[in-house]
Amino acid sequence: MIRLHIKLNQKGALVWSAVLLALLLGFMAFFPSMSNDAMKELTSGKLQSLPQSILSVIGFDSFPDFTDIKVYYGYIMQYVNMALAVYALLMGLNWYLKEENEGPLNICFLSQEHA
């Protein structure tokens, strides 16, 4: 049954993959501007103007060094993971609604006879 749903939603998966790839490439296109020392000085200068209590509340006690590709990639992956989570949520809801509208549920834990 899962294979059937995957085949039916192949086009949507390709579109989401293209969007995620474009998002990743767009973020990575900004890395050269983040990797120079001028950007590091600009961000540290702006952050030093804020009081330490505000920085600790928003979690910027130590600001990440975006000149390192691993740190920058880790930062942008949170957005890619959020997009993947939204896609997984949409797929799960679509599968559930399709099963609900087209016939009885075949999932044991949602069936009332097994409750």
What pLDDT was estimated at residue 54? 84
Distances (CA, A) of 113 to 17, 24, 97, 105: 39, 46, 20, 11
- CA 51/CA 4 separation, integer angstroms: 56
- DSSP per-residue codes, 2-31: HHHHHHHTHHHHHHHHHHHHHHHHHHHHTH
Q: Walk along the chain (115 residues) and give the pLDDT tens digit of each residue.
A: 667 767 777 888 888 889 889 988 998 898 887 777 777 777 777 777 888 888 888 877 777 777 888 988 888 898 889 989 998 898 888 888 877 887 665 554 454 444 4
Q: How far apart are CA 80 and CA 72, in angstroms?
A: 13
**Per-residue confidence (pLDDT) for residue 69, from 0 to 100:** 87
> What pLDDT is attached to residue 107?
52
39 near 33, Cβ under 8 Å?
yes
